[in-house]
Amino acid sequence: MFTHSEFTHTIMDVKLWLKRHKANKAGRAPISIRLTIDGKRAEISSKIRIAPDQWDQDAEKVIPLPAGGGLSIKTINLYNEDLEIQVAKLKLLKTKIDYDGLTVQDVVKALKPRPVVDLLAPLDVVLREHYAQANRGTFNNFSRVRDLLATWAQLQKQRSINREHFLKEGATQFATWLQTQVGIPSVRNAFIALTAMWRRAGLLSSSPFTGIKLGRHQKKAKASLSREQFYTLRDADELTGRAHHARNAYVAAFYLHGSRISAVLRLRWRDYDEQAGVVTYQAMKGGPLKKVAVGEQLRRVLEQYRPEQPAPEQLIFPILQSDFHQLAQDPRHKAQQRGVTYCNQGLAAACKKLGLPANFTPHTARHTMARMSIEKTKDIRAVQHILGHSNPRQTEVYIREMLTEEIDVAAASVYDDL
């Protein structure tokens, strides 16, 4: 190891030269930085490649071609500035070499660019190989998270995401930006999705988001219609087109024990036994068949769509494409999404026309059914079975989120008596 007294014994020389024998098919050769320390030599190839005629070895600079072709003056200046900076950095290492006893090989190894591990591009492969043929919902959610990460990278003016930089500060920057795009629960889900994909790709073994503090999530109360609002929507005769069909699907979802709108849209005439007065359908994917007695209000809705001779496989509501049940998994999922969007837009138009609050979606039919059921029966187990929840605790939480106003009123009435 060199000591302080040996400063004068260290001789360093830095030279630039063109490696003509390394020229590519286009005739461009890389510029090399030759480093010599105490007679020992090593080289670092730069990423700059130029035609041999554009290199002045005496001046160690890139020059324009005599005929004016080749690189622009701006590019030439940038290349020369970059080379000057690299040479200056090497010369500044002399003191460190003297103190720490570094060899020329140590210096070259330290200065060679480390292989950059990209966290973005491999996600496409992971999605295709591990998730495309699995659960469609998971694939779509993970794809959206990948797209959000790509959008953030573009905003950083990057085509890739350097793993080393992301682990140091990029993860925090991404998390901060992501909170401006989606809600806090979605941010947490995005962290889980990205970590899962990076583990699949062998890029990371643990989450880079551990310890990142997120803003507090203010959970919104579940929206539901009052009895009067529901009657206004159900009995409106002035609705037409999309608003009319969306309203009918909403009403059917309500009378089918608060079913999800996607299950209602999938109903076929074979599911409705008019003589028995029963609709039999699968309320949840992979779940058991559910039988619901058809009351007068639901019957009126269904009969609006009955043709003279309905085919058993024909859809009841004219919202999904007619061959929906014959589609493969992926196009069927996309068709269902379009159907739900159709209902969202139609219901919004109906609420606007009828003077109802605009924040009601088809899923609020489920909330409305739950609310009216608990108000009528006061029996949480009955509501549990109507909604198809696995346990009463789930129903209790579901109901409590909708009845915040009623709970406040009840508490206030107690305080008034004290």
Count of domains for the chain: 3
Kindly report the length of the chain: 418
Domain that holds residue 9: 4-111
Give the tens place of pLDDT for each residue, 219-252. Answer: 555 567 788 888 999 999 999 999 999 999 999 9
Neighbours of 373 (CB within 10 A): 22
**309-351 tens-digit pLDDT:** 889 999 999 999 999 999 988 888 889 999 999 999 999 999 9
Which is higher by pLDDT, 284 or 5?
284
Within-domain flag for 368:
no
Q: Radius of gyration of the chain from Cα atoms?
A: 34
Q: What is the pLDDT of residue 1?
A: 34
Residue 353 has pLDDT above 50, yes or no: yes
- Choose the final residue of a domain: 111, 140, 170: 111
User: Domain for residue 216, yes or no?
Assistant: no
Q: Which residue has the tokens 């005769």?
A: 237
pLDDT score, position 6: 42
Convert 110-122 into a string of H (helix), E (strand) and C (coil). Answer: HHCCCCCCECCCH
φ and ψ of 139, to 5 deg: -60, -45
pLDDT value at 5 more than 50: no
pLDDT at 134 over 80: no
Is there a single domain that holds both residue 277 and residue 297? yes
Range picked from 21-30, 284-293, 364-373 for highest mean pLDDT: 21-30
Domain end among 111, 131, 151: 111
Numbers of helices and strands, H then E, in the chain: 17, 8
Overall pTM surpassing 0.75 (yes/no): no
Q: pLDDT, tens digit, for every residue of 67-91?
A: 656 788 888 888 888 888 878 877 7
Residue 132: which pLDDT band, with cuts at 50, 70 and 90?
confident
Query: Do 58 and 162 share a structural domain?
Result: no
Q: Do residues 104 and 179 both lie within one domain?
A: no
**In percent, how much of the chain has pLDDT > 90?**
31
Range 98-116 average pLDDT? 64
Count Cβ atoms below 10 Å from residue 269 Cβ, excluding itself: 19
SS3 at position 370: helix
Place of tokens 């990205």: 194
Residue 321 is predicted with a pLDDT of 93
Question: Do 69 and 129 sit in the same domain of this protein?
Answer: no
Q: CA nearest 272: which of 313, 218, 319, 223?
A: 313
Q: Verify that 85 and 59 share a domain, yes or no.
A: yes
Of the pLDDT bands very low, low, confident and very high (cuts 50, 70, 90), residue 113 is low
**pLDDT confidence of residue 406:** 47
Asked if 262 and 152 sit in the same domain, the reply is no
Query: Of 363, 386, 408, which one is at a domain's C-terminal end?
Result: 363
The confidence score (pLDDT) of residue 287 equals 66
Q: Is the pLDDT of residue 418 over 60?
A: no
Q: Which residue has the tokens 């996309």?
A: 334
User: Is 377 a member of any domain?
Assistant: no
